Amino acid sequence: MSACEVCGNDYWMAFEVHTVGGQVHTFDSFECAIQKLAPICEHCGCRVIGHGVEADARFFCSGHCARSGGPMVAEQLRSAVGARPN
């Protein structure tokens, strides 16, 4: 069994998440994985668990929140799905 790195629960169905950067994380639930790994919307503060939006190297949960990030961010709106930093 493996212990979740967020809540410490020792669970027989724990799973690992391998990041692009080579880190390996162990969790007992998607809830704990989201709390540890999901970015936080810079406007409303919620966890970005969907596709979200990346603009000006900042993460937002939606286009609405991204547009509230100012004119420079609004001009750079793009879907974060499949996008790579410049």
State the pLDDT at residue 67.
82
Closest by CA to 62, choosing from 83, 35, 80, 75, is: 80
Q: Are residues 27 and 56 in the same domain?
A: no
pTM, two decimal places: 0.74
Q: Are residues 10 and 45 in the same domain?
A: no
* Calpha distance 17→49 (Å, rounded): 15
Helices assigned H by DSSP within the chain: 30-37, 63-67, 71-75
Chunked mean pLDDT (size 10), the chain, 86 residues: 94 96 97 96 94 84 84 63 57
Q: Are residues 32 and 48 in the same domain?
A: no
Q: Are residues 44 and 73 in the same domain?
A: yes
The identity of residue 65, as a single letter, is: C
The whole domain housing 52 covers 39-86
Q: Are residues 79 and 59 in the same domain?
A: yes
Helices assigned H by DSSP within 1-77: 30-37, 63-67, 71-75
Q: Are residues 64 and 85 in the same domain?
A: yes
Sign, CA torsion 55/58/59/60: negative
